[in-house]
Amino acid sequence: TIPHFYVHSSANAERLIARRSASADAPVVWDAFFVHAAARALEKFERMGFRFENDRLSPSNSDAIGVAVDSDGELSVIALPAPGGKTPEVLSGEIRAAVEKLRSGDADARRLQATRFTITNLGSTGIESFTAIVNPPEAAILAIGKVGPVAVVVDGRVVPQDRVSLTLSADHRVVNGKYAAEFLQAIVRELETL
C-alpha cells in the first residue's frame, strides 16, 4: 500500500575498511557505519524520520534506528536507540549484543520496538545492490550491498577503489525524489568522512 520510489548511489568504502581493520578487539560490524551515517543525516533531514500512520503524517516518537537481522530464517529488526551521538565502535558492540540476544531466543529481543528508519544489509551474501521494502509506518529504508573493488575514474585515470552500493526506498507520500536524493548523498558524505 506504500507508493515506493528508489534512489541509488555508492560510497567510497576505503575509510570504512581502514577503520574496521584498526579495531582493537573485533572488527566493527558493517551495519554500525551505516547506522551512524544515517543517524547523522537524519539530523539534517528530519522528514525522513516521519511516519505515515492512519492516513496521517507525523514525526516519529522514536530516536532509534532499526537494523534488519535474519535469525533462523525469520526477519527481525533490532532497535538502536539514540545512535547519533555514538561512535561506530560503540554501535558495533550494541549490534553484536542485540543480535546475540535475538539468536539466543530472548523473548524481549523479539518484541517489536519503534524505530524511525531501518537499515538492511545483504552485502555478506555477495549481493551488489538491491531494493528493499519500506517497513511501515516508517518513511524509508536503506539497502546496503557488498563492499568491494570497482573501477572508478580518479583524475582522468581508471583505478580500483573499494565501494559500497546504497539504495534508498522511500514513501512518496512523505518525501519527494529530490529530498530523498539529498538525504542519500548526506549519508554518502558521512560514510566518506568517518
Active site residues: 172
Bridge partners (DSSP) listed for residue 9? 166
Distance CA 40, CA 92 (A): 16
Distance CA 143, CA 168 (A): 6
Distance CA 38, CA 100 (A): 23
Distance CA 168, CA 50 (A): 15
Helix (H, G, I), strand (E, B) or coil at 21: helix
For 114-184, where are the E strands, in sequence order? 117-121, 140-154, 157-171
Distance CA 11, CA 194 (A): 12
Q: Are strands 50-53 and 140-154 parallel, antiparallel or unpaired?
A: unpaired
In degrees and rounded to multiples of 5, residue 8 shows phi and psi of -130, 140
In degrees and rounded to multiples of 5, residue 49 shows phi and psi of -95, 5
Distance CA 105, CA 42 (A): 32
